[in-house]
Structure 1
Amino acid sequence: MNQETNWNAEVTKVYHTNYVRNSRAIAAVWAIFSMCYVILNVVAFVQPYWFGDTNESPGVGYFGLYEFCERTMTGAEYTCRGDFLDFSTILNNYFRGASFLVGISALLFIFSCICMLMFLFLRPNIVFNICGSLQVVAGVCIGVGCIIYPRGFDDVDVRRICGQNAVGYNMAHCEIKWGYILAIVLIFDAFILSILAFVLSTRQAKSLQNQGEKKVLRDSLTADWTGFQ
Protein backbone atom coordinates (compact mmCIF):
# COMPACT_ATOMS: atom_id res chain seq x y z
CA MET A 1 0.00 0.00 0.00
CA ASN A 2 2.89 2.31 0.81
CA GLN A 3 4.48 1.73 -2.63
CA GLU A 4 1.15 2.32 -4.41
CA THR A 5 0.59 5.52 -2.43
CA ASN A 6 4.08 6.80 -3.30
CA TRP A 7 3.59 5.92 -6.98
CA ASN A 8 0.27 7.78 -7.12
CA ALA A 9 1.84 10.75 -5.39
CA GLU A 10 4.72 10.86 -7.90
CA VAL A 11 2.38 10.60 -10.90
CA THR A 12 0.19 13.36 -9.48
CA LYS A 13 3.23 15.51 -8.84
CA VAL A 14 4.50 15.12 -12.42
CA TYR A 15 1.05 15.86 -13.84
CA HIS A 16 0.67 18.95 -11.69
CA THR A 17 4.17 20.18 -12.59
CA ASN A 18 3.47 19.87 -16.33
CA TYR A 19 0.05 21.50 -15.86
CA VAL A 20 1.55 24.49 -14.05
CA ARG A 21 4.41 24.81 -16.55
CA ASN A 22 2.05 24.83 -19.53
CA SER A 23 -0.26 27.35 -17.86
CA ARG A 24 2.64 29.67 -17.12
CA ALA A 25 3.88 29.45 -20.72
CA ILE A 26 0.42 30.32 -22.08
CA ALA A 27 0.09 33.14 -19.55
CA ALA A 28 3.45 34.55 -20.67
CA VAL A 29 2.33 34.49 -24.31
CA TRP A 30 -0.94 36.19 -23.34
CA ALA A 31 0.94 38.93 -21.47
CA ILE A 32 3.34 39.54 -24.39
CA PHE A 33 0.51 39.76 -26.93
CA SER A 34 -1.45 42.08 -24.64
CA MET A 35 1.52 44.46 -24.54
CA CYS A 36 1.89 44.24 -28.33
CA TYR A 37 -1.81 45.03 -28.61
CA VAL A 38 -1.29 48.27 -26.70
CA ILE A 39 1.37 49.38 -29.18
CA LEU A 40 -0.78 48.51 -32.21
CA ASN A 41 -3.82 50.20 -30.69
CA VAL A 42 -1.89 53.41 -30.12
CA VAL A 43 -0.53 53.25 -33.69
CA ALA A 44 -4.05 52.85 -35.10
CA PHE A 45 -5.24 55.72 -32.93
CA VAL A 46 -2.62 58.31 -33.86
CA GLN A 47 -2.04 57.53 -37.54
CA PRO A 48 -4.18 59.55 -40.01
CA TYR A 49 -4.44 56.72 -42.52
CA TRP A 50 -7.94 55.36 -42.01
CA PHE A 51 -9.16 56.31 -45.48
CA GLY A 52 -8.03 58.62 -48.25
CA ASP A 53 -7.86 59.56 -51.90
CA THR A 54 -7.46 57.37 -54.96
CA ASN A 55 -6.57 58.15 -58.59
CA GLU A 56 -10.24 58.94 -59.22
CA SER A 57 -10.65 61.30 -56.26
CA PRO A 58 -11.22 65.00 -57.00
CA GLY A 59 -8.95 65.98 -54.12
CA VAL A 60 -5.76 64.72 -52.49
CA GLY A 61 -5.74 63.90 -48.81
CA TYR A 62 -6.28 61.30 -46.13
CA PHE A 63 -8.16 61.03 -42.87
CA GLY A 64 -7.55 59.50 -39.48
CA LEU A 65 -9.66 59.32 -36.37
CA TYR A 66 -9.16 62.96 -35.50
CA GLU A 67 -6.58 64.27 -37.98
CA PHE A 68 -7.19 65.32 -41.58
CA CYS A 69 -4.40 65.99 -44.06
CA GLU A 70 -4.90 67.64 -47.46
CA ARG A 71 -2.70 68.78 -50.34
CA THR A 72 -4.25 71.68 -52.21
CA MET A 73 -1.56 72.13 -54.89
CA THR A 74 0.52 69.67 -56.88
CA GLY A 75 3.93 69.30 -55.30
CA ALA A 76 2.91 71.17 -52.16
CA GLU A 77 3.22 69.77 -48.67
CA TYR A 78 0.27 68.19 -46.91
CA THR A 79 -1.53 70.47 -44.50
CA CYS A 80 -2.86 68.59 -41.47
CA ARG A 81 -5.32 69.70 -38.82
CA GLY A 82 -7.16 68.09 -35.97
CA ASP A 83 -6.16 67.59 -32.36
CA PHE A 84 -7.58 64.92 -30.06
CA LEU A 85 -7.17 67.26 -27.09
CA ASP A 86 -9.33 69.85 -28.85
CA PHE A 87 -12.53 68.15 -30.02
CA SER A 88 -13.63 71.27 -31.89
CA THR A 89 -10.88 70.66 -34.45
CA ILE A 90 -12.22 67.18 -35.32
CA LEU A 91 -14.38 67.21 -38.45
CA ASN A 92 -17.68 65.89 -37.10
CA ASN A 93 -19.36 64.20 -34.15
CA TYR A 94 -18.98 60.70 -35.56
CA PHE A 95 -15.23 61.11 -35.89
CA ARG A 96 -15.15 62.56 -32.39
CA GLY A 97 -17.07 59.62 -30.98
CA ALA A 98 -14.87 57.10 -32.77
CA SER A 99 -11.73 58.91 -31.55
CA PHE A 100 -12.99 58.83 -27.98
CA LEU A 101 -13.90 55.13 -28.09
CA VAL A 102 -10.66 53.98 -29.71
CA GLY A 103 -8.72 56.10 -27.23
CA ILE A 104 -10.63 54.52 -24.34
CA SER A 105 -9.85 51.09 -25.79
CA ALA A 106 -6.13 51.88 -25.75
CA LEU A 107 -6.33 53.13 -22.15
CA LEU A 108 -8.20 50.02 -20.99
CA PHE A 109 -5.55 47.76 -22.47
CA ILE A 110 -2.84 49.86 -20.84
CA PHE A 111 -4.66 49.43 -17.51
CA SER A 112 -4.91 45.69 -18.11
CA CYS A 113 -1.14 45.52 -18.60
CA ILE A 114 -0.58 47.57 -15.44
CA CYS A 115 -2.93 45.21 -13.59
CA MET A 116 -0.51 42.38 -14.34
CA LEU A 117 1.59 43.75 -11.49
CA MET A 118 -1.14 42.46 -9.18
CA PHE A 119 0.15 38.94 -9.81
CA LEU A 120 2.58 39.82 -7.01
CA PHE A 121 -0.23 40.41 -4.52
CA LEU A 122 -3.38 38.55 -5.61
CA ARG A 123 -4.29 35.08 -6.76
CA PRO A 124 -3.63 34.63 -10.49
CA ASN A 125 -7.25 33.71 -11.30
CA ILE A 126 -8.45 37.03 -9.84
CA VAL A 127 -5.93 39.01 -11.90
CA PHE A 128 -6.84 37.15 -15.09
CA ASN A 129 -10.53 37.92 -14.48
CA ILE A 130 -9.79 41.63 -14.00
CA CYS A 131 -7.60 41.85 -17.10
CA GLY A 132 -10.04 39.81 -19.17
CA SER A 133 -12.93 42.07 -18.20
CA LEU A 134 -10.96 45.19 -19.14
CA GLN A 135 -10.04 43.64 -22.48
CA VAL A 136 -13.65 42.72 -23.26
CA VAL A 137 -14.75 46.31 -22.67
CA ALA A 138 -11.81 47.53 -24.77
CA GLY A 139 -12.88 45.25 -27.62
CA VAL A 140 -16.44 46.57 -27.44
CA CYS A 141 -15.19 50.18 -27.47
CA ILE A 142 -12.95 49.80 -30.50
CA GLY A 143 -15.67 47.78 -32.25
CA VAL A 144 -18.30 50.46 -31.74
CA GLY A 145 -15.76 53.12 -32.76
CA CYS A 146 -15.10 51.33 -36.06
CA ILE A 147 -18.85 51.00 -36.68
CA ILE A 148 -19.75 54.66 -36.15
CA TYR A 149 -16.64 56.07 -37.84
CA PRO A 150 -17.87 55.60 -41.46
CA ARG A 151 -21.06 57.48 -40.59
CA GLY A 152 -18.91 60.61 -40.62
CA PHE A 153 -18.21 60.38 -44.35
CA ASP A 154 -21.13 62.77 -44.83
CA ASP A 155 -18.88 65.79 -44.32
CA VAL A 156 -17.88 68.82 -46.41
CA ASP A 157 -14.15 68.11 -46.15
CA VAL A 158 -14.62 64.44 -46.98
CA ARG A 159 -16.65 65.35 -50.07
CA ARG A 160 -13.96 67.76 -51.20
CA ILE A 161 -11.46 64.90 -51.26
CA CYS A 162 -13.66 61.93 -52.10
CA GLY A 163 -16.37 63.47 -54.24
CA GLN A 164 -19.82 64.96 -53.73
CA ASN A 165 -21.42 61.52 -53.62
CA ALA A 166 -19.77 60.77 -50.28
CA VAL A 167 -22.36 60.04 -47.59
CA GLY A 168 -22.48 57.99 -44.42
CA TYR A 169 -20.91 54.56 -45.01
CA ASN A 170 -20.10 55.51 -48.62
CA MET A 171 -16.79 57.23 -49.27
CA ALA A 172 -17.40 57.68 -53.02
CA HIS A 173 -13.99 57.82 -54.75
CA CYS A 174 -11.84 57.27 -51.66
CA GLU A 175 -10.57 53.98 -50.25
CA ILE A 176 -9.89 52.34 -46.90
CA LYS A 177 -6.31 52.70 -45.67
CA TRP A 178 -4.28 50.42 -43.41
CA GLY A 179 -5.15 52.26 -40.19
CA TYR A 180 -8.82 51.29 -40.37
CA ILE A 181 -7.97 47.72 -41.34
CA LEU A 182 -5.62 47.49 -38.36
CA ALA A 183 -8.38 48.75 -36.06
CA ILE A 184 -10.76 46.06 -37.34
CA VAL A 185 -8.14 43.36 -36.74
CA LEU A 186 -7.64 44.70 -33.22
CA ILE A 187 -11.35 44.13 -32.47
CA PHE A 188 -10.92 40.39 -32.91
CA ASP A 189 -7.55 40.42 -31.13
CA ALA A 190 -9.11 42.07 -28.08
CA PHE A 191 -11.79 39.40 -27.75
CA ILE A 192 -9.30 36.58 -28.35
CA LEU A 193 -7.02 37.91 -25.62
CA SER A 194 -9.94 38.38 -23.21
CA ILE A 195 -11.19 34.83 -23.83
CA LEU A 196 -7.67 33.51 -23.24
CA ALA A 197 -7.51 35.46 -19.97
CA PHE A 198 -10.76 33.89 -18.76
CA VAL A 199 -9.55 30.41 -19.79
CA LEU A 200 -6.33 30.95 -17.84
CA SER A 201 -8.39 32.12 -14.87
CA THR A 202 -10.39 28.88 -14.99
CA ARG A 203 -7.23 26.80 -15.21
CA GLN A 204 -5.72 28.62 -12.25
CA ALA A 205 -8.88 28.11 -10.19
CA LYS A 206 -8.91 24.43 -11.13
CA SER A 207 -5.25 24.13 -10.19
CA LEU A 208 -5.93 25.63 -6.77
CA GLN A 209 -8.88 23.29 -6.29
CA ASN A 210 -6.79 20.26 -7.26
CA GLN A 211 -4.08 21.30 -4.83
CA GLY A 212 -6.66 21.44 -2.05
CA GLU A 213 -8.10 18.05 -3.00
CA LYS A 214 -4.65 16.47 -3.17
CA LYS A 215 -3.78 17.85 0.26
CA VAL A 216 -6.96 16.39 1.74
CA LEU A 217 -6.30 13.02 0.04
CA ARG A 218 -2.68 12.98 1.20
CA ASP A 219 -3.69 13.73 4.78
CA SER A 220 -6.35 11.02 4.63
CA LEU A 221 -3.94 8.41 3.27
CA THR A 222 -1.38 9.35 5.88
CA ALA A 223 -3.96 8.96 8.65
CA ASP A 224 -5.13 5.59 7.28
CA TRP A 225 -1.58 4.28 6.99
CA THR A 226 -0.78 5.40 10.51
CA GLY A 227 -3.89 3.67 11.81
CA PHE A 228 -3.03 0.51 9.88
CA GLN A 229 0.40 0.37 11.51
Structure 2
Amino acid sequence: MRDYQDKDNMSTGSLTPCGVIWSILSFFGMCLVCVGFYMPYWIRGQMVFHQQNYTVTFGIFRRCNYPSNDEFIEQCGRYLTFYDIPSNSWRVCTITVGVGCGLAMLVSFIALFACCIKDIVSKKIGRLTGLIQFIAALFIAAGCGIYPNGWNHSEVKAACGFTSAEYSLGTCQLEWAYFITIAGCVTIFICSTFSYKAGQTKTGHYSTYAL
Protein backbone atom coordinates (compact mmCIF):
# COMPACT_ATOMS: atom_id res chain seq x y z
CA MET A 1 0.00 0.00 0.00
CA ARG A 2 1.04 3.59 -0.59
CA ASP A 3 -0.55 5.00 2.54
CA TYR A 4 2.56 6.65 3.93
CA GLN A 5 3.60 8.04 0.59
CA ASP A 6 0.13 9.45 -0.11
CA LYS A 7 -0.05 11.11 3.29
CA ASP A 8 3.38 12.58 2.78
CA ASN A 9 2.44 13.92 -0.64
CA MET A 10 -0.71 15.50 0.71
CA SER A 11 1.15 17.43 3.43
CA THR A 12 1.87 21.09 2.82
CA GLY A 13 4.60 22.80 4.79
CA SER A 14 7.38 21.35 6.88
CA LEU A 15 6.36 22.23 10.45
CA THR A 16 5.05 20.15 13.31
CA PRO A 17 2.14 21.52 15.40
CA CYS A 18 4.76 22.88 17.80
CA GLY A 19 6.47 24.41 14.77
CA VAL A 20 3.32 26.27 13.77
CA ILE A 21 3.18 27.84 17.24
CA TRP A 22 6.88 28.66 16.89
CA SER A 23 6.22 30.35 13.55
CA ILE A 24 3.40 32.50 14.92
CA LEU A 25 5.34 33.51 18.03
CA SER A 26 8.46 34.24 15.96
CA PHE A 27 6.50 36.64 13.77
CA PHE A 28 4.87 38.25 16.81
CA GLY A 29 8.20 38.69 18.61
CA MET A 30 9.83 40.07 15.47
CA CYS A 31 7.06 42.66 15.09
CA LEU A 32 7.47 43.77 18.70
CA VAL A 33 11.23 44.29 18.53
CA CYS A 34 11.12 45.99 15.12
CA VAL A 35 8.40 48.42 16.20
CA GLY A 36 10.24 49.10 19.44
CA PHE A 37 13.51 49.63 17.60
CA TYR A 38 12.03 52.18 15.21
CA MET A 39 9.67 54.15 17.44
CA PRO A 40 11.14 57.14 19.34
CA TYR A 41 9.29 56.41 22.57
CA TRP A 42 11.80 54.80 24.90
CA ILE A 43 11.92 57.65 27.43
CA ARG A 44 9.83 60.78 27.96
CA GLY A 45 10.65 64.05 29.67
CA GLN A 46 10.03 67.79 29.74
CA MET A 47 12.25 70.45 28.19
CA VAL A 48 12.09 74.18 28.79
CA PHE A 49 12.72 76.29 25.69
CA HIS A 50 12.21 80.07 25.69
CA GLN A 51 10.27 79.77 28.96
CA GLN A 52 7.84 77.20 27.54
CA ASN A 53 7.56 73.56 28.55
CA TYR A 54 7.61 70.90 25.85
CA THR A 55 7.17 67.15 26.14
CA VAL A 56 10.07 65.38 24.46
CA THR A 57 10.68 61.70 23.80
CA PHE A 58 13.75 59.72 22.79
CA GLY A 59 14.24 56.39 21.11
CA ILE A 60 17.55 54.88 20.06
CA PHE A 61 18.24 56.84 16.89
CA ARG A 62 15.06 58.95 16.69
CA ARG A 63 13.45 61.62 18.86
CA CYS A 64 10.31 63.74 19.05
CA ASN A 65 10.21 67.46 19.78
CA TYR A 66 13.69 68.96 19.97
CA PRO A 67 15.43 72.35 19.77
CA SER A 68 17.15 73.32 16.54
CA ASN A 69 19.10 76.58 16.39
CA ASP A 70 16.64 79.22 17.62
CA GLU A 71 13.42 77.26 17.20
CA PHE A 72 11.77 74.22 18.70
CA ILE A 73 10.81 71.47 16.25
CA GLU A 74 7.58 69.75 17.28
CA GLN A 75 7.82 66.59 15.21
CA CYS A 76 9.58 63.24 15.20
CA GLY A 77 12.69 62.48 13.21
CA ARG A 78 15.97 60.60 13.24
CA TYR A 79 19.35 62.09 13.96
CA LEU A 80 20.96 63.32 10.75
CA THR A 81 24.01 61.05 11.01
CA PHE A 82 25.03 58.07 13.09
CA TYR A 83 27.47 60.26 15.03
CA ASP A 84 24.72 62.73 15.92
CA ILE A 85 23.17 60.08 18.17
CA PRO A 86 23.72 61.54 21.66
CA SER A 87 26.08 58.99 23.25
CA ASN A 88 28.35 56.10 22.41
CA SER A 89 26.06 53.84 24.43
CA TRP A 90 23.08 54.70 22.22
CA ARG A 91 25.17 54.12 19.10
CA VAL A 92 26.15 50.68 20.34
CA CYS A 93 22.51 50.07 21.26
CA THR A 94 21.44 51.04 17.74
CA ILE A 95 23.84 48.49 16.26
CA THR A 96 23.07 45.63 18.64
CA VAL A 97 19.29 45.99 18.58
CA GLY A 98 19.37 46.54 14.82
CA VAL A 99 21.37 43.34 14.27
CA GLY A 100 19.03 41.47 16.61
CA CYS A 101 15.99 42.71 14.67
CA GLY A 102 17.58 41.67 11.39
CA LEU A 103 18.25 38.15 12.64
CA ALA A 104 14.74 37.92 14.08
CA MET A 105 13.26 38.97 10.73
CA LEU A 106 15.32 36.36 8.88
CA VAL A 107 14.07 33.50 11.08
CA SER A 108 10.51 34.83 11.10
CA PHE A 109 10.26 34.80 7.31
CA ILE A 110 11.80 31.32 7.14
CA ALA A 111 9.22 30.14 9.67
CA LEU A 112 6.33 31.69 7.74
CA PHE A 113 7.45 30.14 4.45
CA ALA A 114 7.83 26.80 6.21
CA CYS A 115 4.12 26.86 7.04
CA CYS A 116 3.31 26.62 3.34
CA ILE A 117 6.31 25.11 1.60
CA LYS A 118 7.50 21.60 2.18
CA ASP A 119 10.99 20.62 3.37
CA ILE A 120 12.20 24.10 4.33
CA VAL A 121 12.62 23.41 8.04
CA SER A 122 14.03 20.04 9.00
CA LYS A 123 15.20 19.03 12.47
CA LYS A 124 18.68 20.41 11.79
CA ILE A 125 17.39 23.65 10.27
CA GLY A 126 15.06 24.02 13.25
CA ARG A 127 18.02 23.81 15.63
CA LEU A 128 19.97 26.30 13.52
CA THR A 129 17.12 28.83 13.46
CA GLY A 130 16.77 28.39 17.22
CA LEU A 131 20.43 29.25 17.65
CA ILE A 132 20.00 32.33 15.45
CA GLN A 133 17.01 33.42 17.54
CA PHE A 134 18.98 32.91 20.74
CA ILE A 135 21.78 35.12 19.36
CA ALA A 136 19.18 37.72 18.24
CA ALA A 137 17.69 37.79 21.73
CA LEU A 138 21.17 38.26 23.24
CA PHE A 139 21.88 41.20 20.92
CA ILE A 140 18.55 42.87 21.74
CA ALA A 141 18.91 42.25 25.48
CA ALA A 142 22.42 43.72 25.38
CA GLY A 143 21.10 46.81 23.61
CA CYS A 144 18.32 47.29 26.15
CA GLY A 145 20.86 46.90 28.94
CA ILE A 146 23.33 49.36 27.42
CA TYR A 147 20.73 52.03 26.59
CA PRO A 148 20.42 53.46 30.15
CA ASN A 149 24.17 54.04 30.21
CA GLY A 150 23.58 56.98 27.85
CA TRP A 151 21.24 58.84 30.15
CA ASN A 152 24.10 61.05 31.37
CA HIS A 153 24.29 62.89 28.03
CA SER A 154 23.57 66.64 28.14
CA GLU A 155 20.66 66.33 25.68
CA VAL A 156 18.97 63.77 27.91
CA LYS A 157 19.77 65.74 31.05
CA ALA A 158 18.05 68.80 29.56
CA ALA A 159 14.84 66.77 29.28
CA CYS A 160 15.18 65.02 32.64
CA GLY A 161 15.57 67.93 35.02
CA PHE A 162 19.39 67.87 34.79
CA THR A 163 19.35 65.05 37.34
CA SER A 164 19.70 62.02 35.07
CA ALA A 165 22.82 59.87 35.10
CA GLU A 166 23.88 56.41 34.00
CA TYR A 167 20.99 54.07 34.86
CA SER A 168 19.15 56.90 36.60
CA LEU A 169 16.42 58.73 34.67
CA GLY A 170 15.96 61.71 36.95
CA THR A 171 12.54 63.23 36.22
CA CYS A 172 12.06 61.30 32.96
CA GLN A 173 10.01 58.14 32.54
CA LEU A 174 10.41 54.97 30.53
CA GLU A 175 7.96 54.73 27.64
CA TRP A 176 6.08 51.90 25.94
CA ALA A 177 8.54 51.27 23.06
CA TYR A 178 11.25 50.24 25.53
CA PHE A 179 8.91 47.76 27.19
CA ILE A 180 7.65 46.16 23.97
CA THR A 181 11.26 45.74 22.83
CA ILE A 182 11.97 43.80 26.01
CA ALA A 183 8.74 41.82 25.57
CA GLY A 184 9.72 40.97 22.00
CA CYS A 185 13.18 39.93 23.18
CA VAL A 186 11.67 37.52 25.73
CA THR A 187 9.28 36.15 23.08
CA ILE A 188 12.16 35.48 20.68
CA PHE A 189 14.12 33.75 23.43
CA ILE A 190 11.13 31.49 24.15
CA CYS A 191 10.85 30.78 20.42
CA SER A 192 14.46 29.61 20.36
CA THR A 193 13.46 26.73 22.65
CA PHE A 194 10.39 25.81 20.56
CA SER A 195 12.45 25.64 17.38
CA TYR A 196 13.99 22.32 18.41
CA LYS A 197 10.58 20.71 17.92
CA ALA A 198 9.57 22.78 14.89
CA GLY A 199 10.84 20.72 11.97
CA GLN A 200 9.53 17.40 10.81
CA THR A 201 11.82 14.42 10.42
CA LYS A 202 12.43 13.72 6.76
CA THR A 203 11.47 10.27 5.63
CA GLY A 204 12.37 8.43 2.46
CA HIS A 205 9.82 8.45 -0.35
CA TYR A 206 9.46 4.74 -0.94
CA SER A 207 6.38 2.90 -2.06
CA THR A 208 5.20 -0.12 -0.11
CA TYR A 209 3.06 -2.62 -1.96
CA ALA A 210 0.93 -5.32 -0.42
CA LEU A 211 1.79 -8.81 -1.63
TM-score normalised according to structure 2 size: 0.75
Partner amino acid, structure 1, of 2:45: D
Other-structure match for 1:24: 16
Partner amino acid, structure 1, of 2:22: W
Aligned length: 187
Once the two structures are superposed, the pairs formed by residues 1-229 of structure 1 within 5 Å of their partners are 24-53=16-45, 60-70=55-65, 78-83=74-79, 86-116=81-111, 117=113, 120-121=118-119, 124-200=122-198, 204=200
CA contact (8 A) 2:130 2:195 kept: yes
User: Which has the larger strand fraction?
Assistant: 2
User: Which has the larger helix fraction?
Assistant: 1
CA contact (8 A) 1:52 1:176 kept: yes
CA contact (8 A) 1:59 1:160 kept: no
Q: CA deviation at 1:51?
A: 0.7
- Based on CA coordinates, which of the two structures has the bigger radius of gyration? 1
Distance in 1, matches of 2:121 and 2:94, equals: 35
**3-state SS of 1:171 partner:** coil
Higher relative contact order (CA 8 A, sep 6+): 2
Distance in 2, matches of 1:123 and 1:82, equals: 38
Q: Cα RMSD (Å) of the superposition?
A: 3.3
**3-state SS of 1:53 partner:** strand
Distance in 2, matches of 1:121 and 1:197, equals: 15
Distance 1:123 1:97, change over 3 A: closer
CA contact (8 A) 2:46 2:159 kept: no
In structure 1, the gaps of 5 or more residues are 1-12, 213-229
In structure 2, the gaps of 5 or more residues are 48-52, 205-211
Identity of aligned residues (%): 24
